[in-house]
Chains A and B, each alone.
Chain A
Amino acid sequence: MLVSILGTLVSKAQDCTMSLSGKVIDFHDGVPLKDATITFNDQTIVTDKDGSYSISNLCAVSYAFTISHANCNSQVVTIDLKEVSKKDFYLEHHLDELQEVEVSGKKRSKTSSSQEETISKDIIQKYSSAALGDALKEITGVSSLNTGSTIVKPIIQGLSGSRVLIMNNGVRMQDMEWGDEHAPNVDINTAGNVTVVKGAAALRYGGDAIGGVIVMEPNKVPAKDTLTGKTVVTGASNGRGTAVTSEIIKGYKSGWFLKAQGTLKRFGDVEAPDYVLSNTGIFERGGSLSFGNNKFIQGWDVYYSYYQNEIGVLAASHIGNADDLIESINSGQPLVIRDFTYSIDNPKQDVTHHLGRVRYFKRFEKLGKWTTQYDFQHNQRFEFDIRQTAELRKIPSLDLELTTHTITSDFVLDGKFDYNLDFGILVRYQDNFADPSTRARRLIPDYEKYDAGLFVTGKYNFNDNLIIDAGIRYDYNQIDAKKFYIKTRWEERGYDEEFNDIIIADEGTQWLTNPKFEYHSVSATTGFNYMFGESYELRGNYALAQRAPNPSELFSDGLHHSASRIELGDLRIEQETSHKISFSLQKSDENFGWEIAPYANFINDYILLEPTDVELSIRGAFPVWEYRQTNARLLGIDANLNKKWLPNWKTNHSFSLVKGKDTENDIPLINIPAANLSNRIIFEKKDWKDLVISLESEYTFRQNEVPDNIMVFSPQEQEDVLLEINTPPSDYHLFHMNADITVPFIKQNELNIGVTINNITNNKYRNYLNRQRYFADEVGRNFLLRLTFNY
């Protein structure tokens, strides 16, 4: 690495017979470092195989020695030879943790044995104007549950919502992930890379990740004097909007760094091939700032991010009752089609998320690293509906304020080469406040929640080829809510027989209750990673995970205006327990590589929300969606293959399939992604300004395994009619194209120009996993032009 000499003048008059000897040692595990260099004035000394060195003929003055080793940060140490003749130097070998530039070619994974995949900055840039969930679909086995095209919730191997944990820069997002129409409140542009761990094996992040963990990590700031920046500007034809994101990073050799980033996205109504999808615009603003000092043995940093998104909800999806829903399903056309506009009207969501974090770490010689952090999150969600009066329409019908404080601390013991251990604890306090000024009954009640967790994970390098990992985690959750129930609902649910002791006040037509629940959850994992042959890797993992029910599953009760459905939680819901076994066999090779990854997930007391009936009211009949628990089984396989056919031509292929079954009732599970197949042909030519062109065919099968439709009474028809609420739409086949070139741009900077065309053939289709599939087609063709300036 860098070799600098802060030389000290040597006086010739002095007697230069002093010497200095010692060793250069890895600070981390105490291993002597061979081939480390010690430089002073114009001399360079190299350590021997024991890490020892010896320098003679030194004068009795102070010298500045620069000690370097491959992959280590150099150190400058000043030594006064009058006083010292023996000195051991310690170097830090774990650069990545020191926020050094990434070690190229080395794949860093979150677990050793479970299935995982990372998307890097190229893909993040490509989806700069889209949502996190859109970008993650590049990963085999990841799909999404959408509400329109802008509210995108990631699904990992068939599971989503509270079963998927999102780690944003070391902080577990607490952004009301319990709702189907609540997208993660994160800006993808804050991430340098995103890793998806498919399953609960990454225990340090949480024990309840039955679906998996999404780990968003920022770009690392090199510990050197540097100033870099990047701006991505994307224009899209569909939605007629622009997204701009920019970041600037200042690093110092002393370890100080400062990083600032901002994003602005503004899109109008998007369009399906035949019509405008009215009221689907978004206006997203975000910014983040971090600074800190990462020194050799200790460091701290502060991170703050702000995210606000105003999201229009398809006008036609606001319906009055079940008859309107039937009418909409039958007509095959949205009931509201207006001219294109940028303005966002009711129904809409307006969400704001503040995230602050302070982190400190300290390294202990030959032992490991201790990290402690405090994070604060404030999530504010407004949902505006079409209400009876203009005055009411200005007031949100849902106004939830979720505040979370978390302290985590962990110690990684990595002083030994053959194993490491990670111990950690977590305490969290969360407060939800549902503002009564909405003048609408609260869907989610006021509550306070306390969480505590403890974990130990370990990794043992059996030999050069075999790694074994294991971990165990315990979580305690307590929820203390103040919830109003309409008295008739209280009885209809049968709560009057079991829960009358939690009633604390009589409010006329409603009871005020104080449900308090405690959950003890245990999760554990074990697995192996076996590398063999030239480039083969076999991973196997078993993960046990328990998830406590979320507030929506417990307390939902009432008419969800924006969804025109009555959602009913259940106070009796208990934790669900998942046993997942997964394997992956992989051959990593640029010329011919492949991966095949089957899994089986058995979930006891799986919590699901599905349509069960309709309830009649003066407004007509509303579909009722009820939470229930059952035993479920998910079986699936993810596979991909890449082959280089000619020097500049290669193809990528991926396929994923998951089957979900309610084994107790022998019926299919709702909202399970359909099988899909993606084939991509790529042309690359470095000489032509780094040209990369790809054409992708994306084929999504029809989801044939769905629960039965329900018969409902239609007041309009005065008879029972079939509500085709579970009927899946047809299969669809889409083509996408992407092209990139990189050209020099002012001095030594670079400009990357990218063009993307999505849905080239302007196909009309509907997606089973879009909650608005009853009302409108998906988005049609979209041209995107993307300019990326690196400076």
Chain B
Amino acid sequence: MNTRKFLSMLAIAGLFAYSCSDDDDNPTVVNEEEVITTMTVTLTAGTDVVTLTSRDLDGPDGPNAPVITVSGPLTANTTYTGEVSLLNETETPAENVNEEIEEEADEHQFFYDVASTLNATTAYTDTEADYPPNMGTNPVGITFSLVTTDASTGSLTVTLRHEPKKPNDGTLADAGGDTDIAQSFDLTIQ
């Protein structure tokens, strides 16, 4: 024990010397890898393309709120195919985060919540099995459909949950899990 003590004391002395000598070394910067800065939801019906974007370049750590843009109104009584694309734009070139979600499709799910004032409905058009090697039959929601009826206004909230209960009844309350994305878009159907 005495020898070990002595050795550890030596090590401590060494630490002193070390910590004094590395004064000028700067720590390396950490850019968070799990950050999603940008979500783009593309709604397509033939040549009618509406994009919903939320861009939060300073991430959840930064003070700035995401910039939300909706490219235009939706057309009444139309069926849109929807697709979500996720990016991390803090990196150059921007990292495509969809790949990570697809890899762990069984642990993720998007939820589309249409406000009661907006005359539209959504439905999933994919399952986990669409993203091999996943084999499940539960929806993921990277692709979906949105069907509009009469002209109206209201919000569409897109939520990405990590490790939700699967299968679930399609509500956030039942699904649980952690929220990776939660964004609302004010839409107009005309």
Contact = CB atoms under 8 A, between A and B. Distances in A.
Interface residues of B, number: 58
A442 B182 contact: no
A45 B52 CA distance: 102
A658 to B, nearest CB: 35
Contact of B30 (A356, A439, A557): A439
A616 B54 CA distance: 11
A718 B179 contact: no
Given A387-B34, A436-B28, A716-B157, A566 B180 contact: no
B21 interface: no
B128 to A, nearest CB: 16
Interface stretch (A6-14, A504-512, A637-645): A504-512
Given A509-B57, A716-B157, 11 more contacts: A386-B162, A388-B100, A441-B61, A492-B64, A509-B90, A616-B65, A616-B66, A617-B66, A618-B37, A618-B55, A715-B184
A329 to B, nearest CB: 14
Nearest to B157: A716
A109 interface: no
A509 B58 CA distance: 8
A436 B32 CA distance: 10
30 contacts: A289-B1, A319-B178, A321-B179, A324-B179, A358-B9, A386-B178, A388-B162, A389-B34, A389-B103, A389-B104, A434-B27, A436-B28, A436-B29, A439-B34, A442-B30, A484-B27, A484-B29, A484-B30, A486-B58, A489-B58, A508-B29, A557-B61, A558-B61, A617-B60, A618-B54, A618-B60, A619-B179, A619-B181, A620-B182, A716-B159
Interface stretch (B12-20, B41-49, B142-150): B12-20
User: Of B27, B36, B64, B115, which is in contact with the most chain A CB atoms at under 10 Å from its CB?
Assistant: B27
A388 B34 contact: yes
B63 to A, nearest CB: 4
Interface in A352-389: 356, 358, 376, 386-389
Nearest to B182: A620
B132 interface: no
Interface string B2-13: 000100110010
Contacts, number: 162
Contacts of A510: 29, 31
B90 A617 contact: no
B83 interface: no
A610 interface: no
Contacts of B8: 356, 376
A320 B180 contact: yes
A67 B50 CA distance: 100
Interface of A: 289, 291, 302, 304, 318-321, 323-324, 327, 331, 335-336, 356, 358, 376, 386-390, 392, 403, 405, 429, 431, 434, 436, 438-442, 445-446, 448, 482, 484, 486-489, 492, 504-505, 507-510, 512, 557-559, 566, 615-620, 622, 715-716, 718
Contacts of B39: 618
Contacts of A716: 113, 157, 159, 182, 184
Nearest to A324: B179
Nearest to A336: B176
A319 B177 CA distance: 8
A327 B173 contact: yes
B111 to A, nearest CB: 11
Most chain B CB within a 10 A radius of its CB, from A431, A617, A620, A715: A617
Given A336-B176, A439-B33, A718-B184, A615 B65 contact: yes
A303 B16 CA distance: 21
A321 B182 contact: yes
What 10 pairs between A and B have smallest CB-CB spacing?
A320-B179, A620-B182, A616-B65, A492-B63, A618-B56, A617-B60, A507-B29, A558-B61, A488-B58, A388-B34
A376 B14 CA distance: 13
A424 B171 CA distance: 65
Nearest to B63: A492
A715 B60 CA distance: 15
B69 to A, nearest CB: 13
A486 B63 CA distance: 9
Contacts of A620: 179, 181-183
B155 interface: yes
A405 B113 CA distance: 56
Contacts of B59: 486, 617-618
Contacts of B5: 302, 304, 356, 358
Contacts of A718: 115, 155, 184
B165 to A, nearest CB: 9
Contacts of B62: 486, 488-489, 617
A436 B60 contact: no
A405 B12 contact: yes
Contacts of A336: 176
Interface in B56-90: 56-66, 90
Contacts of A504: 26
B26 A386 contact: no
A405 to B, nearest CB: 7
A566 B61 contact: yes
Contacts of B27: 434, 436, 442, 445-446, 482, 484, 512
Nearest to A356: B8
Contacts of A323: 179, 182
Given A327-B173, A617-B66, A486 B61 contact: yes
A651 B47 CA distance: 84
Interface in B110-126: 113, 115
Given A386-B163, A387-B34, A559-B61, A618 B26 contact: no
Contacts of A440: 30, 32, 34
Name, among A405, A504, A622, the residue most crowded by chain B CB atoms within 10 Å (CB to CB).
A405
B43 to A, nearest CB: 19
Given A405-B16, A436-B30, A618-B54, A388 B180 contact: yes
A440 B31 CA distance: 7
Contacts of B90: 508-509
Given A441-B61, A617-B60, A715-B157, A512 B26 contact: yes
Nearest to A337: B176
Contact of A617 (B56, B155, B172, B177): B56
Contacts of A442: 27, 30
A441 B179 contact: no
B60 A622 contact: yes
A480 B88 CA distance: 33
A324 B172 CA distance: 10
A323 B38 CA distance: 20
B63 A488 contact: yes
Contacts of B54: 618
A438 B34 CA distance: 11
Nearest to B8: A356
Given A327-B173, A618-B66, A718-B115, A441 B30 contact: yes
A215 B101 CA distance: 51
A427 to B, nearest CB: 12
A507 B65 CA distance: 22
A715 B183 contact: yes
A441 B16 CA distance: 27
B100 to A, nearest CB: 6
A392 B182 contact: no
A431 B60 CA distance: 29
B18 to A, nearest CB: 9
Contacts of B61: 441, 486, 489, 557-559, 566
Nearest to A395: B33
Contacts of B66: 616-618
Contacts of A489: 58, 61-63
Given A323-B182, A335-B176, A429-B16, A392 B34 contact: yes
B114 to A, nearest CB: 12
Contacts of A438: 30
A388 B75 CA distance: 36
B19 A429 contact: yes
Nearest to B2: A302
Contacts of A509: 31, 57-58, 90
